[in-house]
Amino acid sequence: MPPQADEGAEPGTEAAPRRAAVLGSPVAHSLSPQLHTAAYRALGLSGWTYERIETDEAALPGFLDALGPEWAGLSLTMPLKRAVLPLLDRISDTAASVDAVNTVVFEPDGSRSGDNTDIPGLLAALAERGLTRVPTAAILGAGATASSALAALSRVCDGEVVAYVRGAGRATEMRALGERLGVDVRTESWDEAVKGLHAPLVIATTPAGSTDALAEAVPEAPGTLFDVLYEPWPTPLAARWSARGGQVLGGLDLLIHQAVLQVERMTGHRPAPLAAMRAAGEAALAAR
């Protein structure tokens, strides 16, 4: 990790130009450039740039090997979060807990460090809304984001987590991950997902459209919904949840909080400018 910047340093004191980017396939939809660029501007890092680069699993090794010393870090989206693991020199305990890396930092010695900011980002988003402990929770889905959600819940959920999944294989994976994380996980068929809406915290991790049919089943007094989608927004489930008086967090909340941590790890500047990044994200989303 780059040395932490002096909090009293004058803005714009970064000498050498530095580069960062978000990689994935597809990646054209990513709001990460707006968030990171807003952070650089607020921090006075005039020589820093951040871009989107379409990269799949086959191209990733060659891409990493070709990077020069001006590169500070990378944000990774699907399908690269697990594909990058064998290409790194070390990964954090957080990333190891779910076998997924969404942040690569290039160290001064040229080595590659992997981290996962989705997990602490999700926790930070919940804490911002006053949720630091929950008695039980439900997860809708069983993909990579569901794994990060389960890892986050391992730190704040006092009781059972019920995961509503499609397929026996995914169910087995979620239970095994719960055992690794020390979480009491029970899996149910996706056909029973309506029951999960009664949990005090529901984290929806499925692709767009997957939860639309559940919207009409939102209970009269729902708890908190964290729907990780940010486009289209609001989802039918989130809109119905809000109309019923429940608290709703969206994918932009997660994206911003995990990006804050990425900026801190890549630049060494702490704290990252949360307010400026949020304003940039909201403006970019509204423009669409």
Instruction: List phi, psi (to 5°) of 105.
Output: -115, 130
Is the Cβ–Cβ distance between 193 and 139 less than 8 Å?
no
Which residue is catalytic, options 18, 36, 52, 81?
A: 81
CA separation for the pair 218, 222 (Å, rounded): 7
Active site residue 81: yes
CA atoms within 13 A on the CB side of 94: 19
Residue 182 in contact with residue 154, Cβ under 8 Å? yes
Distance of CA 238 to the CA centre of its chain: 18
Report DSSP letters for 131-200, one per residue. -S-BS-EEEE--SHHHHHHHHHHHHHB-S-EEEEESSHHHHHHHHHHHHHHT--EEEEEGGGHHHHTTSS
* CA angle centred on 131, ends 130 and 137, rounded to 5°: 160
- The residues that are catalytic are 81
